[in-house]
């Protein structure tokens, strides 16, 4: 079931009504578990079996891990046992992820490598459907057992509470990736209805729907046209398509996060912020502190720091950062183009100058209405790098990505390409509407960059506020009616 489907339009109010009619926390959690499995099984009921298996494995192993051992002989024996249990958790979760997501990738890579050496192997192949959201809930369950092993979390004996934490439907298939230490306690205590929080959640949901249906889905068609056949497109067209994809994936994914966070607030649950206006960043470091925050902090805590983090010398720190980003790229997709995308970000992070002082997540670009020239230039440079790297994310293959890069660089001077784009704009074609839509969107985001979402203006008169809500709802309905429905991009991960 998708947030933009008709089924969800009926599903959400029914679950919400029953939820708040139940007085006991335990019954509310049980309802959320059942509703979440219905939500997830809407794609394929077999996915539910896989998620339940992964959840039960980590629930049992979490109980077996127990508290950290004392520093004595008995404690050393328990430590070895706990390491074995943690290894089982890692092996089961990453093994399932490897089979369902990466089996074909590794087999194909082996076959390609062997052919270069003159071999012609016939490896085993499996036709496996990739379960929606498996990468997200796998990382969420892993954080549970790892935190218990580290002594940062006590295992829960309430199975329903734990299942609610793993399967909570608003963030199940595309995040935010929540930590057990933050989300699980919210299911372990009573929730109370908060009208203000629910109202703000509805506004954030509306903004997320606007970003997905009106902006992301509108940009999908010209982006797909250019990247489907880069050999026939010219450099200016590919450059514009790359910029449009940067906003497509941002509005698509952050729109999902907005809907997820807003939906959770309707049930008295607070999810972490996942995006903080990343295209206003002044460095790659800042970009990754604003883009997919739940994933970047997960890799920081469970990959980068265990590798050594910044505790060693400069070379070790650089190595750890690049390895972390290579793994992050592979997490996004079972293809070498994703690994290249992650590697480019890792190299840029360690090679380019870092910002001086602590980065403020609250308001990027400073407090001024008009940014200073230096700030503006840094934002343009970081956005340009992000766009260049997005080519590897969007292209169908490494070869296509290199071709897009080559054409953008070597054909940047083609006057005919720009003339064609200008004529399309002047004729009122699709590019005309897209440019104005993105321009308005950028202004709204810049003016409201100090807020979690822009639809927050309690000081405005009520008629004016409701006029804005009505206009946004009309846009969502109208654009949703006349454009093709596109699945959320991160469903494939």
Among residues 141, 174, 191, which one ends one of the domains? Answer: 191
Among residues 165, 191, 217, which one ends one of the domains? Answer: 191
pTM of full prediction above 0.75: yes
* Token pair of 285 as six digits: 């470091």
175 and 244 both lie in a single domain: no
Among residues 123, 158, 191, which one ends one of the domains? Answer: 191
The predicted pLDDT at position 422 comes to 77
145 and 228 both lie in a single domain: no
Q: pLDDT averaged over consecutive 10-residue blocks of the chain (493 residues)?
A: 88 96 94 95 87 92 83 74 91 86 66 62 62 87 92 92 95 89 93 92 95 92 90 88 95 94 96 95 93 94 90 86 93 88 92 68 82 91 95 92 90 76 71 86 93 90 92 90 74 71
In-domain check, residue 75: yes
In-domain check, residue 297: no
In-domain check, residue 166: yes
73 and 179 both lie in a single domain: yes
Domain count, the chain: 2
109 and 217 both lie in a single domain: no
144 and 227 both lie in a single domain: no
The predicted pLDDT at position 353 comes to 74
Residue 205 lies in domain: 197-282+355-492
The predicted pLDDT at position 34 comes to 95
Active-site residue flag, 332: yes
The predicted pLDDT at position 425 comes to 67
In-domain check, residue 318: no
56 and 103 both lie in a single domain: yes
32 and 102 both lie in a single domain: yes
The predicted pLDDT at position 78 comes to 81
187 and 233 both lie in a single domain: no
In-domain check, residue 254: yes
380 and 442 both lie in a single domain: yes
Q: Which of 332, 413, 450, 453 is catalytic?
A: 332
* Token pair of 82 as six digits: 């706990």
In-domain check, residue 131: yes
In-domain check, residue 305: no
63 and 80 both lie in a single domain: yes
186 and 201 both lie in a single domain: no
404 and 465 both lie in a single domain: yes
In-domain check, residue 273: yes
The predicted pLDDT at position 125 comes to 55
The predicted pLDDT at position 360 comes to 58
């Amino acid at each position: 079931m998708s947030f933009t489907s008709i089924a969800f339009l009926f599903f959400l109010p029914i679950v919400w009504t029953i939820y708040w009619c139940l007085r006991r926390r335990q019954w509310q959690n049980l309802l959320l578990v059942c509703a979440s499995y219905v939500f997830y099984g809407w794609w394929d009921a077999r996915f539910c079996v896989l998620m339940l298996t992964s959840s039960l494995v980590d629930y049992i192993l979490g109980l077996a891990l127990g508290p950290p051992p004392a520093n004595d002989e008995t404690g050393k024996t328990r430590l070895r046992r706990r390491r074995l249990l943690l290894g089982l958790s890692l092996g089961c979760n990453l093994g399932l992820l490897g089979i369902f997501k990466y089996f074909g990738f590794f087999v194909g890579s082996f076959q390609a490598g062997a052919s270069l050496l003159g071999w012609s192997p016939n490896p085993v192949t499996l036709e496996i459907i990739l379960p929606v959201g498996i990468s997200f809930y796998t990382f969420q369950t892993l954080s549970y057992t790892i935190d218990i092993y580290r002594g940062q979390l006590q295992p829960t004996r309430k199975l329903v509470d734990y299942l609610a934490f793993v399967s909570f439907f608003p963030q199940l298939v595309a995040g935010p990736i929540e930590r057990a230490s933050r989300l699980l306690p919210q299911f372990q205590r009573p929730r109370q209805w908060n009208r203000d929080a629910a109202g703000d959640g509805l506004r954030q949901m509306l903004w997320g729907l606007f970003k997905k249906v009106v902006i992301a889905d509108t940009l999908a068609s010209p982006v797909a046209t250019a990247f489907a056949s880069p050999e026939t497109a010219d450099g200016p067209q590919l450059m514009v398509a790359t910029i449009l994809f940067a906003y497509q994936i941002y509005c698509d994914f952050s729109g999902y996060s907005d809907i997820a966070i807003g939906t959770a607030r309707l049930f008295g649950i607070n999810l972490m912020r996942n995006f903080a206006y990343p295209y206003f960043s002044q460095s790659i470091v800042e970009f990754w502190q604003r883009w997919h925050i739940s994933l970047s902090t997960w890799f920081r805590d469970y990959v980068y720091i265990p590798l050594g983090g910044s505790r060693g010398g400069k070379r070790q720190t650089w190595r750890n950062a690049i390895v972390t980003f290579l793994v992050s790229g592979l997490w996004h997709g079972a293809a070498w183009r994703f690994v290249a995308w992650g590697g480019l970000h890792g190299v840029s992070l360690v090679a380019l100058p870092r910002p001086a002082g602590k980065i403020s997540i609250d308001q990027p670009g400073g407090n001024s209405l008009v940014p200073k020239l230096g700030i503006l230039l840094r934002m343009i440079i970081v956005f340009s790098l992000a766009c260049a790297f997005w080519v590897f994310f969007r292209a169908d293959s490494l070869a296509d990505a290199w071709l897009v890069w080559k054409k953008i660089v070597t054909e940047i001077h083609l006057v005919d390409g720009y003339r064609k784009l200008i004529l399309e704009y002047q004729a009122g074609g699709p590019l005309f509407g897209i440019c104005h839509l993105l321009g308005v969107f950028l202004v709204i985001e810049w003016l409201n960059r100090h807020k979690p979402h822009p639809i927050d203006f309690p000081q405005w008169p009520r008629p004016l506020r409701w006029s804005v809500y009505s206009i946004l709802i009309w846009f969502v309905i109208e654009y949703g009616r006349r454009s093709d429905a596109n699945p959320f991009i991160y469903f494939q991960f």
